[in-house]
Amino acid sequence: MKLTYQPFELELKHPFTIAGFSRASTPLMLIQLAHHGYTGHGEASMVPYMGESHQTAAAFLNKVDVSQFNYPFNYDQIITYLDSIAPGNPAVKAAIDIALHDLDGQLQQKPCWQLLDSNPQLMPVTSITIGIDTPEIVLQKVKEAEGCKVIKVKLGRDTDKELITTIRLVTNVPLYVDVNQGWTSREQSLDMVYWLQEQGVQLIEQPFAKTDEAANAWLTERSPVPIIGDEAVQRLPDVAKAEGIYHGINVKLMKSAGMHEAHQMIQKARKLNMKVLIGCMSETSCAILAAATLAPQCDWADLDGPFLTRNNPFAMPGFEDGKWVLSRDAGLGLKL
Ligand code: MG
């Protein structure tokens, strides 16, 4: 088996603003695993606040000994091996895991969704995210998102109600809200939740700081809208810790170190009767198809990466009626 990789800078259509910061592009590491004439593709999307970069990813990949990846792949063993190289680094670990799944599917001549027991008929609609911006830009973004069935809105500033009201001028589609830890007052947050419910909001992500378990649990206990932990839930052990604090979790491959552990997180959440949202970072078709493979096992999907970026190096996957279409092609079904 041969591992190759290239740094890539994924450009955003609009500078992305959420509570706390703003950026115009995202560093990616694209990787390939070649074996018996097949090539598996993987991707690390390294949003700055997660602490990974082209340098950390290259340093990690240079330590990976691909002779550890014996076929048939034992994913538990492989993730233990990757964790033994260095802690953290979830995105570059995800890139390897995604490439292995793509390769695995090609070697077995089966689509990845079949390897992971997903039913493509159960694919949820995917939301498209509108970042915090001026009313003019917000309206332009809503127009660009035409055809999508759900809009996700980033809140967490004093202009929150204005932003929602602006969106409601032009569309009645359901909304998901992501506060990105931006709220601080319990009582105000509950008033806001009731107001958001009236506006057609169906879920709220990470209202308070991830470390403030008491405030998040307080709101979850009272909120008529599902409260979802995102920043607080990174890898498998975090799912059990989220029980009682959130109604559900946001699973992302770039946090979970890939598809294998994301699948385990979904199964764990189901056992605990928790809801599951599957989300993404700024990603190309590669990581989005990998997440879409698991989306039919989730309640909601927020897999909008390719809609918000301008230089996706892969073909756009099929998208119909607001949903990603999983093909019968072997592996991820990624087209170059
Ligand atoms: Mg979020």
CATH of the domain at 25: 3.30.390.10
Q: Tell me the CA–centroid distance for residue 145 and ligand 1, in Å.
A: 19
> Quick one: 170 and 296 in the same domain?
yes
Do 299 and 170 fall within a single domain? yes
Alpha carbons 167 and 185: distance in angstroms, whole number:
25
Query: Is 230 within the bounds of a domain?
Result: yes
Closest residue by Cα to residue 249 from 132, 175, 35, 262:
262
CA triplet 278, 250, 142: central angle to 5 degrees? 65
Q: From the CA atom positions of the chain, what is the Rg in Å?
A: 19
Kindly report the three-state secondary structure assignment for every residue of 232-253. CCCCCHHHHHHECCECEEEEEH
Is 334 among the domain residues? no
Q: pLDDT value at position 104?
A: 98
Number of domains in the chain: 2
Please say whether the beta carbons of 194 and 222 come within 8 A: no
Give residue-wise pLDDT tens across range 47-96.
988 899 999 999 999 999 999 999 999 999 999 999 999 999 999 999 99
Distance of CA 214 from the midpoint of ligand 1 (Å): 19
pLDDT at 14: 81
Q: Is residue 121 within 8 Å of 295, Cβ to Cβ? A: no
150 and 68 housed in the same domain? no
**Residues 252, 143 within the same domain:** yes
Helix, strand or coil for residue 244? coil
Indicate the SS3 state at residue 329. coil
pTM of the full predicted structure?
0.96
Query: What gap in Å lies between CA 302 and CA 205, rounded to an integer?
Result: 12
- Per-residue pLDDT 10s for the chain (336 aa) are 999 999 999 999 887 666 566 789 999 999 999 999 999 999 999 998 889 999 999 999 999 999 999 999 999 999 999 999 999 999 999 999 999 999 999 999 999 999 999 999 999 999 998 877 788 888 888 888 877 899 999 898 888 999 999 999 989 999 999 999 999 999 999 999 999 999 999 999 999 999 999 999 999 999 999 999 999 999 999 999 999 999 999 999 999 999 999 999 999 999 999 999 999 999 999 999 999 999 999 999 999 999 989 999 999 999 999 999 999 999 999 998
In a domain, residue 62? The reply is yes
> 329 lies in a domain?
no
Q: State the distance from the centre of ligand 1 to the C-alpha of 333, rounded, in angstroms.
A: 27
CA of 205 to the centre of ligand 1 (A): 6
Whether 10 and 135 share a structural domain: no
Ligand 1 centroid, distance to 256 Cα (angstroms) = 14
Angle (nearest 5°) at CA 140 between 137 and 142: 110
Where among 74, 109, 144 does a domain terminate? 109
Are 86 and 138 within one domain? no
Our measurement of the distance from residue 315's CA atom to the centroid of its chain's CA atoms, rounded to an integer in Å, reads: 19
With respect to residue 330, please indicate whether it lies within any of the assigned structural domains. Answer: no
Q: Pick from 109, 126, 143: which residue ends a domain?
A: 109
Q: Could you tell me the residue range of the domain that residue 98 belongs to?
A: 2-109
What pLDDT does 20 receive?
63
Cα distance between residue 128 and residue 271, in whole Å:
29
How far is it, in rounded angstroms, from Cα 237 to Cα 151? 30
Determine the pLDDT at residue 132: 75
Same domain, 87 and 137: no
With contact defined as beta carbons under 8 Å apart, do 76 and 236 qualify? no
Q: Which residues surround ligand 1, an ion (CB under 5 A)?
A: 178, 205, 230
Q: Are 77 and 150 in a shared domain?
A: no
Query: What pLDDT does 81 receive?
Result: 98
83, 129: one domain: no
pLDDT at res. 207:
98
Asked if residue 194 is part of any domain, the answer here is: yes
Q: State the virtual CA torsion across 298, 254, 265, 93 in degrees, nearest 10.
A: 140
Do 88 and 232 lie in one domain? The reply is no
- Whether residues 53 and 124 share a domain: the answer is no
> Among residues 91, 109, 127, which one ends one of the domains?
109
Distances (CA, A) of 58 to 6, 92, 281, 282, 311: 9, 9, 20, 19, 22
- pLDDT number for residue 23: 80
Do the domain assignments include residue 282?
A: yes
Strand, coil or helix: 26: strand
In a domain, 134, yes or no: yes
> Residue 210 C-alpha to ligand 1 middle, in angstroms?
11
Contact 35, 60 (CB under 8 A): no
Instruction: Indicate whether 104 and 174 sit together in one domain.
Output: no
CATH number of the domain within which 141 lies: 3.20.20.120
Pairing of strands 201-205, 38-45: unpaired
